[in-house]
């Protein structure tokens, strides 16, 4: 998982067992980007209850940008951008599956040339609409 430079500096300065754990899982690739090593298919900062140890102990501001954005998704198709939620977040999944209509699918104008085949996009959008009907 990508970790921004501001968070890397904060994690290297962090004291206590949380700081020690973060430093144990941080690594830098040859290109210079920093990452938090994923272990057993999950973030090592996820507690057994599925919540984030960093946020629980230090608050939202202590999260790296990747985690502050999570569980929000952003897909830029050129002429429009979709915003959504990751089902891998327990709370987002709970809301989506138990409170139909309480969450919002949002599209915003991208203003650029489309980066997709229009026929393929139409199939995707129709399929998604059916899936949302079933989910509701």
CA distance 136 to 101: 7
Note the pLDDT tens digit of each residue in 59-103. 989 999 988 888 888 878 888 787 788 887 777 888 778 876 655
Q: What is the pLDDT of residue 103?
A: 59
Q: What is the pTM of this model?
A: 0.64
CA distance 29 to 1: 12
Note the pLDDT tens digit of each residue in 11-53. 999 999 999 999 999 999 999 999 999 988 889 998 988 789 9
Element (H, E) at 92: helix 90-98
Q: Which two tokens stand for residue 77?
A: 């198709």
């Amino acid at each position: 998982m990508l970790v921004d430079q501001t968070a890397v500096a904060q994690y290297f300065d962090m004291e206590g067992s949380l700081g020690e754990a973060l430093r144990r899982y941080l690594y830098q690739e040859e290109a210079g980007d920093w990452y938090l090593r994923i272990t057993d298919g999950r973030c090592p900062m996820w507690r057994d209850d599925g919540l984030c140890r960093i946020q629980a102990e230090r608050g939202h501001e202590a999260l790296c940008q990747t985690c502050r954005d999570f569980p929000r998704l952003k897909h830029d198709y050129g002429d429009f951008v979709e915003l959504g939620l990751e089902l891998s977040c327990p709370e987002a999944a709970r809301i989506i599956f138990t409170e139909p209509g309480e969450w919002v699918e949002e599209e915003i104008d991208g203003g650029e040339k489309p980066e997709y085949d229009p026929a393929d996009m139409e199939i995707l959008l129709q399929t998604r609409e059916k899936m949302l009907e079933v989910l509701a």
